[in-house]
Structure 1
Amino acid sequence: MIIRSDEFIDIPRIASGTPSDDAMPSPGGVMRTHLFRPAVEGRYPGVLLFSEIYQVTDPIRRLAAYVAGHGFCVAVPEVYHEYEQPGTVLRYDAAGTDRGNALKVTKPVPAFDEDAVAALDGLAAHPACTGRLATMGVCLGGHLAYRAALDPRVAAAACFYATDIHSGTLGAGKQDDSLARMEELKAETLFIWGRQDLHVPFAARETIRARLEAVGANYGWLEVNGQHAFLRDEGPRYDPALFAQTLNAVIALFNRTLAG
């Protein structure tokens, strides 16, 4: 399906919490949210896609385009909008990694959550969206997609190698409540992991799965022989076969849960 990938909306935002001295908020006061949707005019189910720590990179744009090409209106917010100018992309290098990781534990968890609500509001109100909503994300974004799926409007979520859920170390103070809030998860959620992922090793995955079982969550679980970031189509860890396998599962989930 031919898509449009040249659009964005700037959602007004006010930063929550107090940033550190070396990470001053952007003066723009907006959360730039990139849109990907079928070129044929119409209304499509919405997918809120959260990026990794590098924001909306070329691999994230291609991932969003892939999902949109299956008949979805995909919105990708810039997760560090308080600290970086609109349109900023961090590079896949040491400096970009250090910056992304620093901001991950600078931004308060409530600010991540408020951004998710604002992005879901904006996506649901877009004329190309039916109002049926799902979330997905990779790495940091996998964690944010899970937290966004606690919103009762979200019917489904796909979380790729979500970092920090097991350790509770997201956000300022490194004391998130993601495991504790898992009983609130009503969306059908697919967790996807690489067995060779050093960021979320076996014991960490078992902690998450045990909690899902304890709360009776409606979830799917897919582990593959891949490393962290196996979905990113740049760099040595990319696995195109796993990209196809896992994205097919995600598209099937969204087709089933967002119909109607």
Structure 2
Amino acid sequence: MLITKSYQDIPTKLDANGQPVRIFIISPHLPNYPNARFPGVVVFRRVFGIAFGPLRDFRIVCSEIYQVTGPVERFAGQIASRGYIVACPSVYHEFEGPEPIPYDVEGTDRGNKYKIEKKVEAYDEDATLAIDLLVNHVNCNGRIAATGMCLGGHLAFRAAFDSRVLASACWFATDIHSATLGKGKQDDTLVRVRRGDLTGRGEVMMIFGKQDTHVPRPGRDLIRQTLEDANVVSSFLEVQAQHAFIRDEHSKGRWDAALTHALFGCMMELFERTVARDLGTCSNVAADAEHVC
């Protein structure tokens, strides 16, 4: 399926500098079916950059905190080409314009600095605005999923607190186990899970590499136990890989293409089962828990 690319600048309330959040949109292109309706997916990454071309076309050019060309466009484009409208919010709009952050020591330091300067509430606002955009999109059917990697995996996890998000696939999500996201490095993600904010809601898929030094085994065990104790419908996939193993550029020798392909299929099975079809109201959440990837 062909895809088109565009963006919208959405005003925010929590940005003290008054900067809008730029949300990139990649959507299926069926010119003969202008009224076609598709489910929506919010894709979170750490930072986004663009390169302009004719007709306001763009390339999403980031991966993790580094704005390198290719990985995000390919990831989001693969989702969109399967019949989903993809919205990618620019995470660090409070600090940077849409220009790429260099893949170097200085760029790394900037990205990590911004991660703990931005308020958790501001991350949540960006997610809400992206979900609002999808729900109100003329070609969206209102059924929403979320996904992301690294910091984006954590943001996709938090997006599941929004009742409109029916599924979240979180790739090597950082800072959940340590509760160190955002300003003050004291987020409430697992606290909210324990108090039931995900119980009886959408499905969560967690994907980790067993050699991930950013989220070691005790951290992964804590996340898994917290989800299970709270009776959250979830899948927990641990594979033989390192952190950021799906990044196909500047991977530092960690990219595993075959494993990425297999797990991308697991994510799409989750999305196809939860948002691609409208099955009506679920009458048995416990029964649905048996049907996981």
TM over 0.5: yes
Shift of 1:237: 1.5
- Which of 181, 187, 208 matches 1:170? 181
Shift of 1:89: 2.3
Shift of 1:128: 2.0
Contact 2:47 2:90 in 1 (8 A): no
User: What residue in structure 1 maps to residue 167 of structure 2?
Assistant: 156
User: What residue in structure 2 maps to residue 184 of structure 1?
Assistant: 197
Shift of 1:239: 1.1
Structure 1 runs not aligned, ≥5 long: 19-24
Which structure has the larger Rg?
Answer: 2
Share of identical aligned residues, percent? 46
Q: Is 2:61 the counterpart of 1:50? A: no
Structure 2 runs not aligned, ≥5 long: 50-59, 63-69, 279-293
Moved more, 168-177 or 238-247: 238-247
TM-score after normalising by structure 2: 0.82
With over 3 angstroms needed to count, the CA separation of the structure-2 counterparts of 1:99 and 1:148, relative to structure 1, is: same
Letter in 1 for 2:2: I
**1:32-70 deviation per Cα after TM superposition (whole angstroms, max 9, x unaligned):** 111111111421100000013566423112110011111
- Which of 103, 123, 133 matches 2:134? 123
- Which of 47, 58, 75 matches 1:63? 75
Q: Is 2:268 the counterpart of 1:251? A: yes
TM-score after normalising by structure 1: 0.92
User: What residue in structure 1 maps to residue 27 of structure 2?
Assistant: 37
Secondary structure of the residue that 1:48 maps to in structure 2? strand
Secondary structure of the residue that 2:27 maps to in structure 1? strand
Q: Is 2:20 the counterpart of 1:8? A: no
Contact 1:54 1:100 in 2 (8 A): no
Letter in 2 for 1:35: I
- Which of 93, 108, 113 matches 2:104? 93
Letter in 1 for 2:40: G
**Cα-Cα RMSD:** 1.4
Q: Map residues 206-217 of structure 1 onto 2, 5 A cutoff.
A: 206-217=221-232
**1:9-43 deviation per Cα after TM superposition (whole angstroms, max 9, x unaligned):** 11111335x6xxxxxx4x6x211111111111421
CA distance in 1, matches of 2:173, 2:99: 23
